[in-house]
Structure 1
Amino acid sequence: MSGWFDFSGRISRRRFWLAYVLPLAALLLGAMMLDGLMITRGILQPDAALLTDFAALAVAFGMLSACVQRLHDLGCNGGWVLLMAAVPLAGPVLGVLLLGCLPGSALRNRFGPAPV
């Protein structure tokens, strides 16, 4: 089974949403809320979003891994994630929607067996 920091193998749409997108979005949102609270309390300067910066790094790497594994499930090379990242705004939005909505191949492909 593939993990958060593994770029090999395949993951299903269900795992993509439940194990990657939702938890990572919650982590990022929670960090943003804590930073906002610390800024309003005077603990942080308004331009210092310390927790959000660290969470964004963790989210970026985890989502990169998830996107590559979903591309593998669709039978595509993980390098396509670079194209999604290269097109501002539309690339990531379409990428997440396509990766989160298109079914993967039901049979074994060059990246491994179909995820359960």
Structure 2
Amino acid sequence: MNWGKFLFSFSGRISRKAFWLYVAASIALGLILNAVAMPSQPVLDPSASPEQAMAAMSGYYGAIPLWYWLLQIPLFWIGLAVMAKRWHDQDRSGWWTLLLLVPLLGALIVLIMQGFIAGTPGPNRFGEGPMA
């Protein structure tokens, strides 16, 4: 498997198995990155006034390191590329990814269609089958 093409290219097709492996790897990587990058939540004194509690929490989300945010750019690109290739396996345009913009229902539809619906057998307009 050509990892560069799998991760960064929007052309070609991938199987459901490759899609689910990507999903599992993304979840694992996300958990690791969040554990490393996110600061521990401040412990609040129960007797603190609301103003003191707000002051203690105000710096919490601002402490996420810059490298974490910069890493999100290639990870977002990789996610779009994998989804586009999965749509291509079903002989659909990668633009179907825009269904994710529909709140809640869109993500469910995309997950079902990409994770559970088989691709077209044999070649289609996007290339040979992923098992070819």
Q: Unaligned 5+ residue runs, structure 2?
A: 43-58
C-alpha distance in structure 1 between counterparts of 2:117 and 2:80, whole Å? 18
Amino acid at match of 1:14: K
Q: Which residue of 2 aligns with 1:35?
A: 37
The offset of 1:58, in angstroms, is: 3.2
Residue 7 (1) aligns with residue 22 (2): no
Name the count of aligned residue pairs: 110
The root-mean-square deviation of aligned C-alpha atoms, in Å, is: 2.2
State the Cα distance separating 1:90 from its structure 2 match.
2.3
Structure 2 length as normaliser, TM-score? 0.72
Contact 1:11 1:70 in 2 (8 A): yes
Paired residues for 1:97-108 under 5 Å? 97-108=112-123
- The alignment-based identity, stated in percent, is 32
- Cα separation, 1, equivalents of 2:121 and 2:83: 18
Per the alignment, residue 63 of structure 1 pairs with 79
Which runs of 5 or more residues in structure 1 are unaligned? none
Contact 2:14 2:86 in 1 (8 A): yes
2:97 maps to 1:81: yes
